[in-house]
């Protein structure tokens, strides 16, 4: 009789352990497994650009840059927020441009007057260049230094900001210009009139061009102040999240 009681007790203990194990599995282990399966089946996290693309309905002529700006193409001209983009990646049509624009000229004249008041003399030595003029300019540098080196200091035809009528070379074509009183004044004050130092020092990887302390581009005072960045110039490429590389 005692043996039977012991057997019954052992069976009950076994059943109790089995019940506890089942409860642990169904309430702890199995949910964890299900969660793991859901995580594994989830789509990978989307980039900020992809998230913005979902929120913004882009037109056929629009794309989103790496920093979420809308890049728009109209008749072969690319722009972001009304700022025309011309670099090694983005070109303009051969027929584009017919001289320095009114907005550039008015802003430069104001800057020139302000500079004069500080006993600084600034003048344009190379302003608007047509597509054909750029052909001659680029070919000259190519014949002198070869294509690879020429691409660092001169834009290929159709890729020059000079053709926009919104850029100019001021006073000099030597890098030593940065240390002259005129070069220093421009670097510290041009943004107040809507101009940016387009190809800053040590930013060749971004712009595609060597340092040019004489090349200033008009973009308007609002953007120019942001890119001035207290003297540590930000490039258009970095600011908008775009490239500048020939295909």
Instruction: Report the C-alpha gap between 222 and 83 in whole angstroms.
Output: 12
**Dist CA 220 CA 211 (whole Å):** 22
Q: How far is CA 228 from CA 6, 69, 107, 235, in A?
A: 89, 19, 17, 9
Q: Which residues pair with 170 in a beta bridge?
A: 124
Question: Would you put residue 99 in left (φ > 0), alpha (ψ -120 to 50) or beta?
Answer: left
The answer to whether the CB of 215 falls within 8 A of the CB of 167 is: yes
Phi, psi of 20 (to 5 degrees): -65, -40
Q: At what angle do helices 181-189 and 102-117 cross, to 10 degrees?
A: 120
β pairing state of 167-170 and 77-80: unpaired
37 is catalytic: no
36's tokens: 């793991």
What's the rounded Cα separation, in Å, for the pair 46 and 66? 13
d(CA 6, CA 29): 33
Catalytic member of 161, 182, 212, 237: 212
Q: Annotated catalytic sites, by residue?
A: 212
């Amino acid at each position: 009789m005692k043996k039977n009681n012991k057997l019954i007790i052992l069976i009950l203990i076994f059943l109790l352990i089995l019940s506890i194990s089942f409860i642990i599995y169904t309430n702890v282990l199995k949910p964890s497994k299900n969660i793991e399966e859901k995580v594994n089946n989830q789509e990978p996290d989307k980039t900020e650009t992809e998230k913005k693309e979902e929120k913004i309905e882009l037109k056929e002529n629009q794309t989103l840059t790496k920093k979420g700006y809308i890049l728009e193409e109209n008749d072969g001209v690319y722009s972001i927020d009304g700022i025309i983009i011309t670099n090694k990646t983005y070109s303009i049509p051969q027929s584009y441009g017919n001289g320095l624009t009114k907005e550039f000229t008015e802003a430069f004249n104001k800057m020139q007057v302000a500079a004069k008041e500080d006993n600084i003399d600034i003048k344009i030595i190379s302003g608007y260049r047509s597509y054909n003029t750029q052909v001659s300019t680029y070919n000259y540098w190519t014949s002198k230094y070869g294509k690879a080196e020429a691409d660092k200091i001169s834009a290929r035809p159709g890729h020059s900001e000079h053709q926009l009528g919104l850029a100019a070379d001021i006073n000099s074509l030597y890098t030593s210009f940065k240390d002259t009183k005129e070069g220093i004044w421009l670097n510290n004050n041009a943004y107040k009139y809507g101009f940016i130092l387009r190809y800053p020092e040590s930013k060749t990887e971004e712009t595609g061009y060597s340092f040019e302390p004489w090349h200033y581009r008009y973009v308007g005072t609002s953007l120019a102040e942001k890119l001035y960045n207290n003297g540590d110039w930000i490039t258009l490429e970095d600011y908008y999240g775009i490239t500048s590389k020939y295909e």
